[in-house]
Structure 1
């Protein structure tokens, strides 16, 4: 889940009377049901062969405490009123790499990329790249929407998260297989 708004983990999903829900484990050990339409599931991608380098940026979504604090010179601190991208800071961007930002182990390597554009304060639109680490933390960096041309759909597996399957044709669709099929709630 978006760490800029609150720390929570999606631990399950299902239907109740025909309505789709996600089971969310919140930071205060409370589990709640959230309507599925509030979620944007990412898609699996990998770099195309001979791709151009892709720059990724640190950012913060509006109304979150995930911003940059100039006094402490640190990210993930401070409130941001608008969607903010740090493209103008020397240390606010870097090259996107599979080893740092993606899943680089196993046979289904690649990235989880959200395809819902986010308009940022610099006037550009960005896609979020979700970097699931081995310890379960979720890091989010952003790539410019035009840089999606450097990727192709792929089947990507993250241990403890699950597998996003390769999309067919030009239309993207979701086929997701969770790491575990049963969650106690």
Structure 2
């Protein structure tokens, strides 16, 4: 990837479209990677308000409009709210846990139960309008603003209001609307 074109997020939560294509290869088995909580048709998810929602079909098959009808919208205003600001600069950041599933990756930085940074990328070949979702088990902690990009675009999202402490065994996951994949990592002491 051309780092001069890489965009670094300087806001609390950001979504960035990169100008170059990025192919997310299937990740090698990661012993710290967690199994994604089920987001298939009939599964129950929880909105930041605590409201339970039953998925009418698989989460990764729902459109932005269908998610809105369920109450899952871009830039959900909660303890993990979002705003968008970005500027070009290379990114160098060590991660404590990383993993990819299909076209989505998760990067978590921290020690034990204390997480200092949580990011995700989503790569799309066709043009797409999307937003990222940050999950704690089956509860949505935050969503980013919606962003639309041209073909061969990689999006980057950074969770707001970090650092955060999580319970031992908490599963953190990321997903992107209209981009396949939901990688997860388990927080442990």
- Same fold, TM-score > 0.5, yes or no: no
Q: Which has the larger radius of gyration?
A: 1
TM-score, normalisation: structure 1 = 0.26
TM-score, normalisation: structure 2 = 0.26
